[in-house]
């Protein structure tokens, strides 16, 4: 009788560990799927103060609060502005 009780306790512990691991893996896989489904935000587009072309803010050059598509356009614009 004591052996049967030990086996039931061991089986219960194994079941608890199994269900905990299964739940943890299921939650992490759902989070991964949600992250993969969410598209990255679109980059902010800015207009070059010199030529008017639109360029991603991360790829632009900035000076005096204005955006430029290249350093050459920035320098040209600032020289003509003086």
Sign of CA dihedral 47, 48, 54, 57: negative
Once rounded to an integer, what is the mean pLDDT over residues 6-22? 94
Which pTM value belongs to this model? 0.50
Q: What contacts 24+ positions apart, CB below 8 Å, involve 77-80? A: 77/49, 77/50
| pLDDT higher than 70, residue 82 | no
1 vs 17 pLDDT, higher one: 17
CB of 67 closer than 8 Å to CB of 42: no
pLDDT tens digits, residue range 16-68? 999 999 988 887 777 777 777 777 777 889 999 999 999 998 889 999 999 99
Q: What pLDDT, on the 0 to 100 scale, is given for residue 43?
A: 83
């Amino acid at each position: 009788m004591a052996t049967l009780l030990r086996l039931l306790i061991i089986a219960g512990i194994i079941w608890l560990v199994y269900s905990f691991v299964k739940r943890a893996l299921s939650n992490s896989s759902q989070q991964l799927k949600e992250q993969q489904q969410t598209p990255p935000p679109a980059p902010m587009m800015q207009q070059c103060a010199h030529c008017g072309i639109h360029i991603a803010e991360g790829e632009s050059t900035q000076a005096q609060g204005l955006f430029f598509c290249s350093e050459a356009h920035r320098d040209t614009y600032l020289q003509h502005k003086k």
